[in-house]
Amino acid sequence: MHVMPAVTASIGGLTISNGDAGQQGGGGILNDHAILTIDRCAVQNSFASQSNSGGGVYNDGSGNSATLTISNSTISGNYAYFAGGGIYNDAYNDGSATLTITNSSVNNNSAWYAEMFASDGEGGGIYNGSGMVTITNSSVSDNYAGMPVSDPFPAGNAAASLTTGH
């Protein structure tokens, strides 16, 4: 699902699954410089590959602004090649990205990539790239950053919690 720039939209009661971001971020939902409210939804089993971020949801405020409100929803089982397996909140390049999560869960998501003999990944659940994040009465759990290997110390940052970028 791609919410186009300068649009204000609300979605409710939907299950969005098995999405593929292709050349952009946001395997399930791309909030592209818009205002989006998600209520009573599940975003699941979607992915952002090819060096992209935001397996479940990409809130893209880079160079401009984006606002994403998630309530009474579940973001689970999503994968990002680089960062934000569940959600990527992007305010880079002098942008503004606001993410508000209420009465929701972000769980069982992953972010990892591998190059030669190294693996990495950031923000398995949520990656915050210089934006504003508010989480109320919600859980961010059982997420994974870094290649899933049996090594007890795989590379990766902030698997089960929020990662704040530069």
**Domains of the chain by residue range:** 2-111+123-147+157-164
pLDDT band at residue 165 using 50, 70 and 90 as cut-offs: very low
User: In the numeric block, which tokens belong to residue 16?
Assistant: 């969005």
Over residues 18-43, mean pLDDT: 95
Q: How far apart are CA 81 and CA 137, in angstroms?
A: 28
Percentage of the chain lying above the pLDDT 90 cut: 73
24-33 b/e (C-beta count within 10 Å ≥ 16 → b): bbbbbbbbbb
pLDDT beyond 80 at 36: yes
The reported pLDDT for the residue numbered 33 is 98
Which DSSP symbol is given to 96? E
150 or 71: which leads in pLDDT: 71
Mean pLDDT of the chain: 87
pLDDT band at residue 159 using 50, 70 and 90 as cut-offs: very low
Which of 48-52, 72-76, 131-135 has the weakest average pLDDT?
Answer: 48-52
Over residues 12-39, mean pLDDT: 95
The reported pLDDT for the residue numbered 164 is 46
Q: How far apart are CA 77 and CA 57, in angstroms?
A: 12
pTM tops 0.85? yes
81 or 152: which leads in pLDDT: 81
